[in-house]
Amino acid sequence: MNTETRKFTHGQDAGKLLLALWLFVAPWMLNYSEVRLPVWNGFAVGIVVAAFSIAAMLKFTKWEEWINIVAGFWLIASPWVLNYTTLLGPTRTLPATANHLAVGLAIVILSLWELNLWEQVTQGSRKT
């Protein structure tokens, strides 16, 4: 991947890093900090996404993006897999569910976008 494209894809990595940091403050900002399961789930996913986003900023490899895609899909599915929508009732856990859906979707989109850019650049360099 050339330097110009690599700088561009740092934007996606930075976006994922910000989303990971948001997962750490969201329980207090969205008032679901008393529901431990979604809080700890968000923390765990946030650590994974932050670690692999930083790693991708340092040296890009495709598998880092695939791990973030899996983490994003887990965040999307986790409200139902872990069944935390029934812990304190749907109105108390709705902010956590909505947040995890939105953040998970954003992580998946940013990771797929970065993989797509990588494929375009590597295919373009093979043709020249």
Q: Is residue 126 part of a domain?
A: no
Tens digit of each residue's pLDDT (9 = 90 or more) over 76-98: 999 999 988 776 677 778 899 99
Q: Is residue 124 part of a domain?
A: no
Structure tokens at 111: 């990771």
Name residues of the chain where pLDDT drops below 70.
Answer: 1-9, 87-88, 124-128
Q: In the chain, how many domains are there?
A: 1
In angstroms, how far apart are the furthest CA atoms of the chain? Answer: 59
Residue 128 and residue 122: Cα distance in Å, rounded?
10
Q: Is residue 75 part of a domain?
A: yes
Closest by CA position to 55, among listed 121, 114, 127, 4: 114
For the whole model, what pTM was predicted? 0.86
